[in-house]
Amino acid sequence: MGHEMLKFANKKSNTKEAASGDVADHTPDRARMGNALLDAVPSNIMLVDPESGTISFINQAALAALHGLGQQNMAMVEPEKMIGATLDHLHADLTPLVGAMADPSALPWRAELAFGTEVMDVSVCAVDGGEYGYSAALLSWKTANKSADMARNMQVSVMESINQVTAAAQEIMAAAQRVSEGSHMSETQAESARSNADETAVNVQTVASAAEQLSSSIAEISRQVADSSRISQDAVAEAERTNETVQGLAEGSEKIGEVVNLIQDIASQTNLLALNATIEAARAGEAGKGFAVVASEVKNLANQTAKATEEIAAQIGEIQSSTNGAVTAIQGIGKTINQISEIAAAIAAAVEEQGAATSEISRSAQLAAGGTADVTANIQDLMEAARTTNETSAVVMGAGESLMNNAGAAKQQIEDFLHQVKNG
C-alpha cells in the first residue's frame, strides 16, 4: 500500500528547489524513513498539510482503526481514499481546523468526537521540521477511557432522570395551577350561588308570607261569598213569597172586578126599572107623582152607582195591570236572584279550590325556604372546600417549584462533576 512521502520543507521551499533542480538527494530517503517510523507506531496517526488542510499520511494503526470507524460512520470517506482529502472528510467537527491550522498558535487542539456509538479523543499538534520550520500537523486519536464512558453514560442517565423529574414537576405545577384556577372559579361561583340562594330564600319567605295572607284573604272572601249565597237564597224565598202575595192580590182584584160587573148589571137593571116606573107614574097621573119622584131618585142612584162602578172597574183594571207587571217583574227578579245564587255557589267552589291551592303553595314555599337554607349551608361547605383546595394547590405549586429548582441545581452539580472527571 503506497503512501505519500512526508515532506518537512514548506511548500514554497519545495517549489523553489524543484524549479532550480537543487533538491538534496537525501530528502526522499529521510521522508521515507520518517514514514516507516510512524508506520511502526501502534498509535493512530495522520499527517496533515497545515496550509491546505489535506491529509498527507496515514499509518497502519490508523488505517485499521479507520476501517472500524467507517462501519460506525457511513458518511466517512473510505480510508484508502483519504490521502489528499481534507480533514472534514474524516469528521464534520474538524472543518474549522482546515483553515485554522495554518497558524501554529491555533494548536494544539483537542476534542472528543463521536463516530457512531464510538467516542474518540482526537488531538492535533504542530510538527517542527527543524530548518524547514512548521511543515506538518500531526493528528492522533484514541478511544475515550472507561471513566469518560461511564461519566457520559451516567450523564445521559442522570440527565434523563432529572429531565423527567423536571417535566413531572412542571406537569404537577401546571395541574396545581389548573386546580387552583378551578378552585378559585368554584369559590367565586359558590359565592355567587350563595348570594343567589340567600336572595332566593328571602324571596321564597316573602312568597310564603304572601301565600299565607292570600290564604287568609281567600278564606274571608269564601265567608263573604257564602253569606252572599245565603242572602241570595233568602231573597229568592222572599221573592217567591211576594210573588204568591201579588198573585193573591191579582186573584182578589179579579173577584172584585166580577163583583163590580155584577153591581153594574144591577145598576143597569135598576136604571131600567126606574125608567119603567117613571113611565108608569106618568100614566097614573096625579096618583103617580110621588112614585115618579121615587123612581127619579132611584134612577139617579142607579146612574151614580153605574158611574162609581165604572171608576172602580177602571181602577181595578189598572190594579190588575200593575199586579200583572209586578208578578212578571218579581218572576224576573227571582230568576236573576237564582242566577246570582248559582254564580255565588260557583264562586264559592272556585274560592274553596283556590284556598286549597294557596294552602299547598304556602306549604311548598315553607318547604322551599327550608331547602334553600340547606342549599346555602351546602354552598358554604363548598366554598370552604374550594378555599382548602386552593391553599393545597398553592402548597403543591410551591413544592413543584422547589422540586424544579432542586433538579436544576442537581443538574448543574452533575455537569460540573462530569466536567471535572473529563478534564481531571
In tens, the pLDDT along 146-175 reads: 555 556 666 677 677 777 777 877 887 787
Show the cell assigned to 93: 467537527
Query: How many helices (H) and strands (E) would you count in the chain?
Result: 6, 5
pLDDT band for position 47 (cuts 50, 70, 90)? very high
Please return the burial class of 14, using the count of CB atoms within 10 Å of its CB with bins 0-12, 13-18 and 19+: middle
- Number of neighbours of residue 200 by Cβ within 10 angstroms: 17
- Among 116, 13, 9, 130, smallest CA distance to 72 is for 116
C-alpha cell at 349: 267552589
pLDDT the model gives residue 67: 83
Residue 189: pLDDT over 90: no
Domains (ranges, CATH) in the chain? 11-144 (3.30.450.20), 180-414 (1.10.287.950)
Grouping H, G, I as helix, E, B as strand and the rest as coil, residue 80 is helix
Residues 6+ apart with CB under 8 A from 83: 3, 4, 55, 56, 57, 58
The answer to whether the CB of 304 falls within 8 A of the CB of 312 is no
Asked whether the CA dihedral 45, 51, 53, 58 is positive or negative, the reply is: negative
Read off the pLDDT of each residue in 164-187 and give the average, rounded to a whole number: 78
Mean pLDDT of 302-322: 82
What is the SS3 assignment for 223?
A: helix
**Burial letters 210-219, b for 16+ CB under 10 A, else e:** ebbebbeebe
CB–CB of 210/291 below 8 Å? no
Burial class (CB in 10 A: 0-12, 13-18, 19+), 307: exposed
Model confidence at 30: pLDDT above 70? no
The mean-pLDDT minimum among 147-151, 232-236, 250-254, 349-353 falls in 147-151
- The pLDDT score that the predictor gives to residue 60 is 92
CA–CA separation, 292 and 63 (whole Å): 197
Contacts of 111 (CB under 8 A, 6+ apart): 93, 122
Please give the grid coordinates belonging to residue 352.
274553596
Q: Which helix (H) or strand (E) holds 127?
A: strand 118-128
Tell me phi and psi for residue 351, to 5 degrees.
Answer: -65, -40
Closest CA to 211 of 357, 345, 372, 347: 357
Task: List pLDDT tens digits, range 125-152.
Answer: 998 777 777 888 999 998 875 555 556 6
Does the pLDDT value for residue 212 go beyond 90? no
Burial class, 166, CB count within 10 angstroms (exposed 0-12 / middle 13-18 / buried 19+) = buried
Are the C-beta atoms of residues 47 and 137 closer than 8 Å to each other?
yes
Q: Above 80 in pLDDT, residue 20?
A: no
pLDDT band of 9, cuts 50, 70, 90: very low
What confidence tens digit (pLDDT) does each residue in 52-107 have?
999 999 999 989 888 877 655 545 678 888 899 988 888 888 888 888 888 888 88
Whether the pLDDT of residue 13 is over 60: the answer is: no
| Cα dihedral: 131, 133, 139, 142 (round 10) | 60
Tell me: pLDDT of 40 over 80.
yes
Whose grid coordinates read 359565592? Answer: 191
On the question of pLDDT at 202 being above 70, the answer is yes
Which helix (H) or strand (E) segment holds residue 107: the answer is: none
Host H or E run for residue 58: strand 55-58
Concatenated DSSP letters of 160-185: HHHHHHHHHHHHHHHHHHHHHHHHHH
Q: Tell me the pLDDT of the chain averaged across its residues.
A: 76
CB atoms within 10 A of CB 247: 14
pLDDT of residue 17: 38
